[in-house]
Amino acid sequence: MTDPILSVDGVEKRFGGITALDGASFDVEPGITGLIGPNGAGKSTMFNVITGFLSPDAGTVEFRGNDITGLRPSAVAERGLVRTFQIPHELPEMTVRENLALAPRDQRGEGLFTTWTRGDGYARDERNAQRRAVEMAERFDIDHVLDTPAGELSGGQRKLLELARALLTDPDLVLLDEPLAGVNPTLENRILDHLQDLESEGYSFLFIEHDIDVIMEHCQEVIVMHQGRVLTAGDPEDVRSDDRVIDAYLGGDADDGGDGE
Ligand SMILES: Nc1ncnc2c1ncn2[C@@H]1O[C@H](COP(=O)(O)OP(=O)(O)OP(=O)(O)O)[C@@H](O)[C@H]1O
């Protein structure tokens, strides 16, 4: 048994009267792990807490054995834990090349201003960033759109760009929020193949996904959230046949008029 790369323990998060996370705990082992659960289960809130976009009201998050609870997103990214973003507001106007070249600094919280005002080593860093941008675009088959504004990409190309941007920060663990949403089946398979290849190179992934077949085929482990807690976690085969999971997805009230399909 390997050490967990990520450990979440007793995490709580409330928004006014809404309890989004209600004492959620789980471990993530190296590899590809799926995070599933019905709408409103708390999956996105959990991603935000893990990556420092929200502070939890209680509980801890440990990454590679170090407490990262409440650290800022840039500090979390520095330690090797990143999430893919919906491309922020201003970036659709920038080309794929520019998006990729800026990605590492962006994740570290260095804005354009810091980038431009930095002195020593800037030219070298810049050449390096440009070279890696092209290499990454080639790897993800988006090199033919390097000079296209990101806002003009298809849904699938945009997901590949997000993945490429995340990888340019040299992460150990990447959190992916529905990486296949709005992606056509051909690109969907390509993204999944990329994840598999990257995993064999030592990257780990935790991803939110609604398609249980994708989880079954590509994840070593699956974590199921429901009502802000972890309902169960483990082997996808076992989880799929777990009555509690089936109930959670069907709405739970078995004697409440469900058609029992
Ligand atoms: N910023 C917020 N303010 C108020 N309530 C919020 C906020 N963010 C999330 N919530 C609430 O917290 C609960 C959990 O939401 P969350 O988005 O984390 O669930 P989810 O599992 O990601 O759902 P989905 O699969 O629909 O994206 C929901 O009841 C949601 O309405």
Look at residue 205 and give its three-state secondary structure: strand
pTM of the model: 0.86
Question: Is 62:10 a contact under the CB 8 Å cutoff?
Answer: no
Enter the DSSP assignment of 3: P
- In short, whether 42's Cβ falls inside 6 Å of ligand 1 is yes
Residue 44: CB within 6 Å of ligand 1? yes
Higher pLDDT, 131 or 258: 131
Sign of the alpha-carbon dihedral angle for 45, 51, 57, 59? positive
**pLDDT tens column, 66-123:** 999 999 988 998 899 998 865 555 578 899 999 998 876 655 555 544 555 555 556 6
- How far lies 34's CA from each of 28, 43, 184, in Å? 10, 11, 20
Q: Which atom of ligand 1 sits closest to the CA of residue 225?
A: 21
Q: For residues 165 and 132, is the Cβ–Cβ distance under 8 A?
A: no
Count, in order, helices (H) and strands (E) of the chain: 10, 10
Q: Which of 11, 18, 211 to mutate to test the pocket of ligand 1 (most atoms within 8 A of CB)?
A: 18
Closest atom of ligand 1 to CA, residue 45? 18
Rounded Cα distance, 99 and 162, in Å? 9
Q: What is the pLDDT of residues 227-247, one digit of tens each?
A: 999 999 999 988 888 888 888
CA 259 to chain centre: 35
The verdict on the CB of residue 210 being under 6 Å from ligand 1 is no
